[in-house]
Chain A
């Protein structure tokens, strides 16, 4: 089977999979609400409170030590006040896939959270508009690995074997086994969830940066964040090595090694509560 046909076959199987994760209805509504400047923390809290399980998961996440508040946060409106809309938004989406991530690969959740925060640091450094959206991208960028684990058990095992026995990068092993990597797989699902291209494209292309593509700047931010988190050893992406930093990505962000040093130094403080595996 040639690569194109193989890829179509994987997409067909993914879209037909019965155990595909679903984006809870409340999440879709919340995503619309937070995009409106008129939405208040109280309205958001009320909407979220309709889904008790989700609210509980978010409060658990907020209180789990990731944000280092001395007093527990016990209500959603309080969380919105303390963390801001956009962070809560990313937590809404993230918490719906948190358990799946923990199940799929040990350390994947920590890696995703580290990428969310590092992406935000880079976005702030280059003064990118809406840095909080980069945090959502970071949190969800490896969702494709969860899909692989959930819907493609045989392929997942073959990928793991290549990674463990031959020291391959996870994405290279996926490419070898299926002709597609987890970025593209996540993109298919996120498109189905009707997330906007500005969030989906960077995730789809984070292992294949091309400067001329749409949303190249955000893709470059995610690509860099992923590599810096792996370099510093926050969590685990499921393999033991690091993809090469694409020089064109760095050029497109107009960053030097001194900027990277500054960002990596900032990570030490901002990510101190995330375990290094």
Chain B
């Protein structure tokens, strides 16, 4: 999912987080498909930003390799610390399965 402005949203986009107005009322639930009619009304409802399904083309999801490299970087200072290395190993097991 990704956040877009109303201007960036296009017809057919799927709502990934409910759109709620200032009074807390749900205007569009998760899974709603944006039609041209709805899209044209969003501004009038005071909505400027929304969360839609799909990957951000400017910020693609990280590959597993990137995720595991970052894990190595996070723990780089603690190679000699047995406890920190054990924690890293557990996190490694989890991150590998993402």
- Where the two chains meet, the residues of A that have a C-beta atom closer than 8 Å to any C-beta of B are 52-53, 55-56, 59-60, 63-65, 72, 74-75, 227-228, 230-233, 240-242, 244-245, 247, 250, 257, 260-261, 264-265, 268, 276
Inter-chain contact B74/A250, CB cutoff 8 Å: no
Q: List 24 A-B contacts (CB under 8 A).
A: A52-B22, A55-B24, A56-B22, A56-B23, A63-B20, A64-B17, A64-B18, A72-B20, A74-B26, A231-B75, A231-B88, A231-B90, A232-B94, A233-B70, A240-B70, A241-B75, A242-B75, A242-B77, A244-B81, A257-B86, A264-B91, A265-B94, A276-B67, A276-B95
Per the bound structure, the CA–CA distance linking A58 and B91 in Å amounts to 32
Per the bound structure, the CA–CA distance linking A231 and B89 in Å amounts to 10
**From residue 48 to 98 of chain B, which have CB atoms closer than 8 A to chain A?**
67, 70-71, 73-78, 81, 83-84, 86-88, 90-91, 94-95, 98
Indicate whether B12 reaches chain A with its CB closer than 8 angstroms: no
> For residue B20, which residues in chain A have a CB less than 8 angstroms away from its CB?
56, 59-60, 63, 72
Q: Which residue of A lies closest to B30 (CB)?
A: A65
Inter-chain contact A53/B90, CB cutoff 8 Å: no
> For residue A60, which residues in chain B have a CB less than 8 angstroms away from its CB?
20, 24
> For residue B91, which residues in chain A have a CB less than 8 angstroms away from its CB?
231-233, 264
Interface of A is mostly: helix
Per the bound structure, the CA–CA distance linking A268 and B95 in Å amounts to 10
Inter-chain contact A245/B17, CB cutoff 8 Å: no
> For residue A245, which residues in chain B have a CB less than 8 angstroms away from its CB?
83-84, 87
Q: In angstroms, how far is the closest chain B Cβ from the Cβ of A62?
A: 9
- Chain B contact-residue range equals 20 to 34
Top 7 A-B residue pairs of the complex, sorted by shortest distance between their CB atoms: A59-B24, A72-B26, A231-B91, A56-B24, A63-B18, A264-B90, A257-B86
Q: Which residue of A lies closest to B20 (CB)?
A: A60
Inter-chain contact A240/B22, CB cutoff 8 Å: no
> For residue B86, which residues in chain A have a CB less than 8 angstroms away from its CB?
257, 260
> For residue A75, which residues in chain B have a CB less than 8 angstroms away from its CB?
24
Q: Which residue of B lies closest to A239 (CB)?
A: B74
Per the bound structure, the CA–CA distance linking A244 and B90 in Å amounts to 16
> For residue A244, which residues in chain B have a CB less than 8 angstroms away from its CB?
77-78, 81, 84
Per the bound structure, the CA–CA distance linking A242 and B77 in Å amounts to 8
> For residue A63, which residues in chain B have a CB less than 8 angstroms away from its CB?
17-18, 20, 26
Q: In angstroms, how far is the closest chain B Cβ from the Cβ of A106?
A: 11
Inter-chain contact B74/A231, CB cutoff 8 Å: yes
